[in-house]
Amino acid sequence: MDVPTRWNSTFLMLDSTLPLKEAFGRLEQIDRNYKLNPSEDEWKVAYIVHDCLKKIYDATNHFSGNSFPTSNVFFPDICKLQLKLKEWENSDHDFIRNMAGPMKEKFEKYWDECCLVLAIAVVFDPRFKLALVEYNYNAIYGENAKKYVDRVRSAIVDLFVEYGGELNPSFGYACGSDVEESNFTGANKESDDISDVMFSNFDKWYYRSKSSTIRDYEKSELQSPISLLDIERRTTMDSSLAYIVTLVVIPLSISLIFLIRKRNSSCANLPPGTSGWPMVGENLQFALLGPQKFVNDRMKKYSPEVFQTSLLGEKMAIFCGAQGNKFLFTNENKLLTSWWPQSMKKALLFPEFVENSLKEVSALKRSFMHDILKPEALKQYIPVMDAMAREHIEKEWAPRKEVKVFPLSKKYTFDLACRLFLSVVDPDHIKKLADPFHLVTNGMFSVPIDFPGTAYNGAIKGGKMVRQELLKVIRQRRKELMENKESEAAGRDLLSRMLLVTDEDGQFMSEMEISNNIIGLLVASYETTSTAVTFVLKHLAELPHIYKEVLREQTEIAKTKGPDDLLTWEDIEKMKYSWNVARESLRVTPPAQGAFRESVTDFTYAGFTVPKGWKTFWTVHTTHKNPKYFPVPEKFDPSRFEGSGPAPYTFVPFGGGPRMCPGKEYARLEVLVFMYRIVTTFQLEKAIPNEKIVYHASPVPANGLPVRLQPHGR
């Protein structure tokens, strides 16, 4: 199943865990390092969730534990679960209500794809025919039930027409009008409580409605032979009959699926591709293959321009190549709008301000975010970046013969972000932000099961702590500004400037809006910039001839500086070759793999229709690793960026269009300043020559990129 809805595995986990409640408490007493013992409130929630998920688990067992697991056996359970999810969605318990929302959303995607096939199977079961479908659809759809029942009837007609059957034009509902009243309480001896209640209520409904003139349908050629099989539902069908029903229902159902898809494809020429398994999509393949191979394989199989898949529970069109990038970037805010996966939004942001933060921010506020990150505004931060880089290297690198680059890069970039964005310099205060922030980045792309001890639960808790701490900082700064300290604070950091900006109506940004924006900047600096720094140093350690040229350029700059002088904007502008090296590193190992968008209307691209509501994804690899745009793409060659550089829309580590990463220039300065301090201080040698690269949200050296340090002059 899709990651937000691993209902049965979650139930089994809870079913095994709840009897061990006291053991968790004892473990906490004897092991001081154990910090994950759930609170009493969390245990109460676990018991409630366990009872809810048991109904789903029992329904699954009813189907999978049956000797002949046909759709007609499963249909009543699925309908009951549909009603249960509606009930949970309106629960008085906040946790159950919040849990039920995404569960129902995912369930309905499965239901939309499969309910027609399940209903057809029930109609072909002579014990039920269309009566059971009508009963359940009345419970689920209420006044709209007739429309869905008619859809089932129409599908049956299509099946018979497809196979050359001649139907009576007066073909009516194939209800079991000859079925005698019984006390039957289940379709099968293996049925569970869900089915018992379902069929008991069905009996009452059926015989009440049977006497109504509304149920006086004409018999059709389809109905008549089935009606001859007057089988009481209490009587379990013997193995041979069940086997025959299976042989009939399965091919007819499969045929129906193809008919439906054929009909849909005639209405809209969707991009080629596959959605994978229902509910599962192609998430597993994406994770196992990695983004580059996943996309390349499907470009070869389906289309080099655009193909469809299903990721994160969403129908998705993957756009490929420079033309795909151009189309998405130039149609931002026209055909497309920004979209974040639900797991990221829940872990990172104040949810009540997510839509404003992502879609409806005023033009002035959006312009402001770009203005404060332009080169002119960032020039003043270069000496601060350099001073912090020098201090960081003296403290964390110089005393050691070997270091792990990746964790140290993350520490430097986060410390610097706290200083420049918030003016937070106290190590203890930074730690109060960094520790929970690490939980966030560690779990925001994990399996989103919100249960104590999971990475996703840690991400949500960490996100709450980060937001609470940020609100304290924001409120304190706002207080300073209100006490007429603007002259000291206004130009000091990004937070102060955010507090002072207003929109067209003179309205200030809310504290939660500011928090969401700062969190976005922190994620970019903590994840993507630290990854960029790490892989630049990786390539310098691997390629001595590249390192030599960078050292030559940086040494020329160092000769113009005194021992205590800090870098300036003019120095940065001289680092031409160094920036080409950094850009080539971003091409070969881009920190961000691409970005999602959501279509706001149906549109056509490359002859295919992308429907409204579909998500889109562009990926850096279809151009960065394409020999059409970068000859011999596996070769590390900084000269690609000399002169006019790559063709438009081919080098896209920062995206493009109106939503190009606003921190592009900030990242450039941070990378170049750190390169300068490292290269002029050490020569690097990889401790693990063939260290593997793994992919989470970004590429990560499996062992943290340990390098040996050789200080110059020794």
> Nearest CA to 106 among 307, 312, 291?
312
Report how far residue 324's alpha carbon sits from residue 562's, in angstroms, rounded to the nearest whole number: 49
pLDDT confidence tier of residue 600, bands split at 50, 70 and 90: very high
632's tokens: 């011999």
Over pLDDT 70: what percentage of the chain? 75
95's tokens: 């946790």
Phi first, then psi, for residue 309 (nearest 5°) are -155, -175
- Does residue 429 sit in the same domain as residue 575? yes
On the 0-12 / 13-18 / 19+ scale of CB atoms within 10 A, 429 is middle
51's tokens: 């009872």
Q: Which three-class secondary structure state does DSSP give residue 175?
A: strand
In a domain, 557, yes or no: yes
Average of pLDDT values for 345-371? 55
Average of pLDDT values for 388-417? 95
Average of pLDDT values for 190-194? 41
Report how far residue 16's alpha carbon sits from residue 10's, in angstroms, rounded to the nearest whole number: 10
pLDDT confidence tier of residue 448, bands split at 50, 70 and 90: low
- Does residue 530 sit in the same domain as residue 673? yes
- Does residue 258 sit in the same domain as residue 352? no
CA 662 to chain centre: 22
DSSP state of 615: E
Let me know how many helices (H) and strands (E) the chain has, helices first.
Answer: 29, 12
In a domain, 149, yes or no: yes
Residue 249 has pLDDT above 70, yes or no: no
Report how far residue 410's alpha carbon sits from residue 405's, in angstroms, rounded to the nearest whole number: 9
Higher pLDDT, 391 or 291: 391
Residue 445 has pLDDT above 80, yes or no: no
| Dihedral of alpha carbons 272, 273, 278, 281, sign | negative
| Beta strand segments in 145-254, E | none
In a domain, 140, yes or no: yes
Interval 94-139: pLDDT, tens: 788 888 888 887 788 778 777 888 888 888 777 777 888 888 888 8
- Does residue 225 sit in the same domain as residue 338? no
Report how far residue 136's alpha carbon sits from residue 114's, in angstroms, rounded to the nearest whole number: 15
419, 388 contact by CB (below 8 A):
yes
The whole domain housing 195 covers 66-267
Is pTM beyond 0.85? Reply is no
DSSP strand pairing (603-605 vs 608-610): antiparallel
Report how far residue 325's alpha carbon sits from residue 648's, in angstroms, rounded to the nearest whole number: 10
Residue 4 has pLDDT above 60, yes or no: no
pLDDT confidence tier of residue 189, bands split at 50, 70 and 90: very low
pLDDT value, residue 630: 96
> Which of the residue ranges 68-77, 227-236, 275-284 would you say has the lowest mean pLDDT?
227-236
Residue type, position 687, single letter: A
> Which of the residue ranges 186-190, 457-461, 570-574, 645-649 would you say has the lowest mean pLDDT?
186-190
Report how far residue 36's alpha carbon sits from residue 20's, in angstroms, rounded to the nearest whole number: 14
- Does residue 405 sit in the same domain as residue 495? yes
Contacting residues for 424 by C-beta, under 8 A, at least 6 apart: 418, 430, 433, 473
- Does residue 75 sit in the same domain as residue 163? yes
646's tokens: 């790559």
pLDDT value, residue 328: 95
Higher pLDDT, 464 or 636: 636
Higher pLDDT, 548 or 512: 548
CATH at 485: 1.10.630.10
Query: Which of 244, 267, 290 is where one domain is finished?
Result: 267
In a domain, 129, yes or no: yes
Report how far residue 511's alpha carbon sits from residue 521's, in angstroms, rounded to the nearest whole number: 15
- Does residue 263 sit in the same domain as residue 362? no
- Does residue 88 sit in the same domain as residue 192? yes
> Within a 10 A sphere around the Cβ of 161, how many other Cβ atoms?
12
Query: Which of 217, 232, 267 is where one domain is finished?
Result: 267
R_g over Cα of the chain: 31
311, 274 contact by CB (below 8 A):
no
pLDDT confidence tier of residue 172, bands split at 50, 70 and 90: very low
> Which of the residue ranges 91-100, 167-176, 561-570 would you say has the lowest mean pLDDT?
167-176
Higher pLDDT, 69 or 487: 69
Average of pLDDT values for 188-211? 52
> Within a 10 A sphere around the Cβ of 40, how many other Cβ atoms?
8
Report how far residue 85's alpha carbon sits from residue 466's, in angstroms, rounded to the nearest whole number: 32
Higher pLDDT, 224 or 571: 571
- Does residue 238 sit in the same domain as residue 374? no
459-494 in b/e form (b: 16+ CB < 10 A) is bbbbbebbbebbeebbeebbebeeeeeeeebeebbb
Report how far residue 445's alpha carbon sits from residue 463's, in angstroms, rounded to the nearest whole number: 13
pLDDT value, residue 428: 93
pLDDT confidence tier of residue 612, bands split at 50, 70 and 90: very high
Average of pLDDT values for 174-199? 40
> Nearest CA to 281 among 404, 113, 146?
113
Residue 395 has pLDDT above 90, yes or no: yes
- Cα angle 531, 534, 535; round to 5: 90
In a domain, 44, yes or no: no
Query: Which of 229, 244, 267 is where one domain is finished?
Result: 267
What is the count of structural domains for the chain?
2
Phi first, then psi, for residue 666 (nearest 5°) are -60, -45
- Does residue 361 sit in the same domain as residue 497? yes
pLDDT value, residue 185: 35
- Does residue 619 sit in the same domain as residue 478? yes
In a domain, 438, yes or no: yes
Q: Is 418 annotated as a binding residue?
A: no
379's tokens: 């020039």
DSSP letters for 305-340: SEEEEEETTEEEEEE-HHHHHHHHHHTBTTTEEE--
Q: Which three-class secondary structure state does DSSP give residue 403?
A: strand
In a domain, 641, yes or no: yes
- Does residue 437 sit in the same domain as residue 505? yes
pLDDT value, residue 74: 73
Phi first, then psi, for residue 601 (nearest 5°) are -160, 160
What integer best gives the mean pLDDT of the chain? Answer: 79
In a domain, 594, yes or no: yes
3-state secondary structure 86-119: HHHHCCCCHHHHHHHHHHHHHHHHHHHHHHHHHH
